[in-house]
Chain A
Amino acid sequence: MNSCKKPLAQNGFTLIELLLYTVIIGSLLLGVVSFYGLAAAARVKNQSVNEVNLQGAAAIDIISQTLRSATAVTTPATAASGSTLTMTVPTASLSPTTFTLNGTTLQVSESTGAAVALTNDKVRVVAFSAKNLTRSGGHANVQVSLTLARVNAGNREEFNYQQTFTTSAELQW
């Protein structure tokens, strides 16, 4: 027994060593946790960007496809611009087709049917405008601009994303 006591007493951790180890482990843990937080924030940001981009691209695609196959643009009038786009389309049961801004949601309505939302509640439409650039001779071209932002009630950085999509479509009727 005696022979064991002596070496043990000489080989324990000093207070300084304990403090040092605690600080090292603490800072490592802090690093790992903050990195995890960073990664989580990046993931959320990614989702926000994708949400805005995919919905923007889909909405613009639908609008330009409808425009290209439309026979005439009734609203806005030639040389005017507005947040409601109405056009006459070849299929009578779908005509007129209207894209309009309702609050912060982009909606489409076909003929007398109920309006259907093109954007969901995760994004809000900051701005929507259509400009009628019809040329004399009836060559109609409409420039459409749509600004979408991720809904961000808590004003958090990872939800902060806004993008403007602008394109034009020539009526090919």
Chain B
Amino acid sequence: MLKAWLHIKSKTRGFSSVEVLLASTLFGFFATALIGAVIYGRAATQDSGDRTAAIMLADEGVQAARNIRNGAYGSLVNGTYGLTQTGNLWAFSGNSDTIGIYNRQITIADKASNQKQVTSTVNWSQGDDTKTVSVVSVLSNWIATIKSWANGILAGSGAVSGTANAVKVATSGNYAFTVLSATTSNFVVTDMSNPAAPSIVRTISVTGTPSNIAVAGNYAYVTTNNGSGEVVVVNIATPASAAVAATYNAAGTAGALGITISGNYAYITRAFSLTDNEFLVLNVTNPLSITQSGAMSSLASMNEVYVAGNYAYVAVSSLTAPMAIINISTPASPTLISSFGLSVLANALSVGGYGKYVYLAASYTLYILDITNPATPTLVKQVIGASTINDIDEDGDKSNVFLGTASTAGEFQVVDVSSPTTAYAVRTIDVPGTASAIGGVAYNAAFDAVAAASASDTQEIMVFTRN
């Protein structure tokens, strides 16, 4: 057997070229893998060392920016910079700086009001690779004075030609939509993105004399005294080219006075009429084709409405029952569940609310009511205004209620309701002129400002801000 094997072996002695090729290829693979492991291992070690130093340099960038901020917040101007030391002080210079093998860039961008985001990026190259580490931090202008409504000001105003009084206003995005007590040129769109200089971008006419306005989505809903077209729908998708899109005629001829939009429904309040319904629930799923879902009659004019959950709270011209509470859980059949009276006889002109509180403006007084139990509100606090309160609006979680009054010396007031039981008028502003009563106010969350509609002939549109 052995002999036979050796014999064959001796006959086929030597390697074929295929075998040699195979063997050298295999050897090549192993050698490459092993040498690669050593080379990459070294590169990784080198990288970890360089990275440690790079992170420190990036951190230094943020610390230097902090130092520059501490010197003057105004020195943090948006852009990309390098760092340098001028007169032994940190300063920005050029658009990058080099430390040994490292290149550093500091990028400053706006984060929020009085806040800048600082990104410190360090780059270095290793072989053909560029490595990067970034450190991000936010620096605040902590020394800035916090603006308050306690020092609120009339920031700017706009005039509408003619002598018509502006009555109500609503806001959406950059714009305020004001309605005037006139039969023509009675719907005005104002760009209030610069509160100091509100500019009128559009004036149109809606049929009838407007009484109130609400905005939802791409449409503004204007209530008017026109008995054959109580609600006018204005397309405001492009505010500068706002145009009447539809008109809704409610049964009867009583003029509409107030409106609130909630979900797919609009809640309309109307002037008293023996024959007509004063409270309407309209389906506005399609704003161009509004239909009535339900209605309810009342014994007095209903001025404004605020909706919270399944209940509508209505400000009523009734000395004994100035607030009506209506169950609207079934849109087809709104039901009066209680009438709320005050300790004094007063008509209510406006109503609003936030969370578990309803704010009711009756005569000179703002009543803060707890509606934890919707049917039986409890009086939490009353705040006396400068004169008859025409309209109110609130800024929600910032806890202020804004009043537009008929006073000649305190047309605009701010009530701090952060602690409802101790709510108080934190600011009263006397706007120029004695015939400038404010009929409508609307808070604009985008600018933390309030747009107002005034009876003044020179500044029908006003913008109030914190200061």
* A-to-B contact residues, CB < 8 Å: 7, 10-11, 31, 35, 38-39, 42, 45-46, 49-50, 52-53, 56-57, 60, 64, 78-79, 131-133, 135, 137, 139, 141, 143, 161, 163-170
Q: Which of A31, A35, A38, A135 contacts B89 (CB 8 A)?
A: A135
5 more contacts with CB within 8 A, not counting A64-B59, A166-B57, A167-B56, are A7-B7, A11-B10, A57-B52, A165-B52, A168-B59
Q: How far is the CA of A165 from the CA of B52 in the complex (A)?
A: 8
Q: How far is the CB of A169 from chain B (nearest CB, A)?
A: 6
Q: Knowing A163-B52, A163-B53, A165-B53 touch, does A135 contact B70 (C-beta < 8 A)? A: yes
Contacts of A56 in B (CB 8 A): 52-53
Report how far A166 CA is from B104 CA in the complex, Å. 13
B41 lies within 8 A of chain A by Cβ: yes
Known: A56-B52, A57-B52, A165-B56. A7 touches B42 (CB 8 A): no
| Residue of chain A at shortest CB distance from B34 | A35
Q: With A139-B67, A139-B71 given, is the CB distance from A166 to B60 under 8 Å?
A: yes
The reply to whether B41 and A49 form a contact with Cβ atoms under 8 Å apart is no
**Distance (Å) between the CB of A19 and the closest chain B CB?**
16
B64 interfacial contact with A, CB 8 Å: yes
Q: Tell me whether B38 and A168 are in contact (CB under 8 A).
A: no
Q: Is the CB of B64 within 8 A of A141?
A: yes
Give every chain B residue within 8 A of A50 (Cβ-Cβ).
Answer: 45, 48
| A49 in contact with B90 (CB, 8 Å) | no
Q: Tell me how far the C-beta of A2 lies from the nearest C-beta in chain B, rounded to whole angstroms.
A: 13
A170 and B10 CA atoms in complex are apart in Å by 84
A42–B38 CB distance below 8 A: yes
Interface size on B, residues (CB 8 A): 33
Check A133/B90 contact, CB under 8 A, given A35-B34, A49-B48, A165-B52. Answer: yes
Residues of A within 8 A of B270 (CB): none
Does B67 contact A133, Cβ atoms closer than 8 Å? yes
Answer yes or no: B74 CB below 8 A from chain A CBs.
Answer: no
Structural contact, B49 and A52, CB atoms closer than 8 A: yes
- List B contacts of A64 (CB < 8 A): 59
Contacting residues, chain A, for B100 (C-beta < 8 A): 164
**B interface residues, Cβ below 8 angstroms from A:** 3, 6-7, 9-10, 31, 34, 38, 41-42, 45-46, 48-49, 52-53, 56-57, 59-60, 63-64, 66-67, 70-71, 85, 87-90, 99-100
What residues of B have a CB within 8 angstroms of the CB of A168 in the complex? Answer: 59-60, 63-64, 67, 90
In the complex, what's the smallest C-beta–C-beta distance from B219 to chain A, in angstroms? 52
**A53–B90 CA distance with the chains assembled, in angstroms:** 27
- In the complex, the chain A residue whose C-beta lies closest to that of B2 is A7
Q: Note all chain A residues with C-beta closer than 8 A to B88.
A: 78-79, 131-133
**CB atoms of A141 and B10 under 8 A apart:** no
Q: How far is the CA of A78 from the CA of B67 in the complex (A)?
A: 14
B residues in contact with A170, CB < 8 Å: 63, 66-67, 70
Min C-beta distance of B143 to chain A, whole Å: 11
A161 x B10 contact (CB < 8 A): no
**B3, B67, B99, B100: which has the most chain A beta carbons within 10 Å?**
B67
Q: In the complex, what's the smallest C-beta–C-beta distance from A110 to chain B, in angstroms?
A: 23
- The chain A residue with its CB closest to the CB of B52 is A53
Listed by A's residue number, 30 A-B pairs whose Cβ atoms lie within 8 Å are A7-B3, A7-B7, A35-B38, A39-B38, A42-B41, A45-B45, A49-B48, A49-B49, A50-B45, A53-B49, A64-B59, A78-B88, A132-B88, A133-B67, A133-B88, A133-B90, A135-B70, A135-B71, A161-B49, A163-B52, A163-B53, A164-B53, A165-B53, A166-B57, A166-B99, A168-B59, A168-B60, A168-B64, A168-B90, A170-B66
Known: A42-B42, A46-B41. A141 touches B53 (CB 8 A): no
Q: How far is the CB of A142 from chain B (nearest CB, A)?
A: 9
| Contact A46-B45, Cβ < 8 Å, known A7-B7, A163-B52, A167-B60 | yes
Chain A interface main SS type: mixed
Which A residues lie within 8 Å of B42 (CB)? 42, 45
CA distance A9 to B412 in the complex (A): 124
Q: Which residues of A contact B56 (CB under 8 A)?
A: 57, 60, 165-167
Residue of B nearest to A3 (CB): B3
Q: Are A163 and B57 in contact (CB under 8 A)?
A: no
Inter-chain contacts of A161 with B (CB < 8 A) = 49
Please tell me if the beta carbons of A139 and B49 are within 8 angstroms of each other in the complex: no
B41: chain A residues within 8 A (beta carbon): 42, 46
Complex-state Cα separation, A133 to B88, whole angstroms: 6
Q: How far is the CA of A143 from the CA of B85 in the complex (A)?
A: 11
Q: In the complex, which residues of chain B have a beta carbon less than 8 angstroms from the beta carbon of A143?
A: 60, 85
Q: Which B residues are in CB contact (< 8 Å) with A49?
A: 45-46, 48-49
- Known contacts: A163-B49, A164-B100. The answer to whether A7 contacts B6 by CB under 8 A is yes
Q: Which residues of chain A come closer than 8 Å to B34, judged between CB atoms?
A: 35
Distance in angstroms between the alpha carbons of A78 and B63 in the assembled complex:
17
**Please, which residues of chain B bring their CB within 8 A of the CB of A10?**
10
In this complex, what residue of B is CB-closest to A137?
B71
Interface centre among A60, A135, A169 (most CB of B within 10 A): A135
Cα distance A166–B57 in the bound complex, in angstroms: 6
Which of B63, B70, B87 lies at the interface centre, i.e. has the most chain A CB atoms within 10 A of its CB? B63
With a 10 A CB-CB cut-off, give which of B9, B42, B88 has the most chain A CB atoms.
Answer: B88
Within the assembled complex, what's the spacing in Å between the Cα atoms of A70 and B222?
Answer: 63
The answer to whether B49 touches A141, judged by C-beta atoms less than 8 angstroms apart, is no
Decide: A135 near B53, CB < 8 A? Known: A42-B41, A53-B48. no
Q: Which residues of B sit under 8 angstroms from A169, Cβ to Cβ?
A: 63
How far is the CB of B82 from the nearest CB of chain A, in Å?
Answer: 14
Alpha-carbon gap, A50 to B48, bound state (A): 8
Q: B44: nearest residue on chain A (CB-CB)?
A: A46
Return chain B residues, CB-CB under 8 Å to A45: 42, 45
Q: Considering residues A7, A64, A133, which has the most beta carbons from chain B within 10 angstroms of its beta carbon?
A: A133
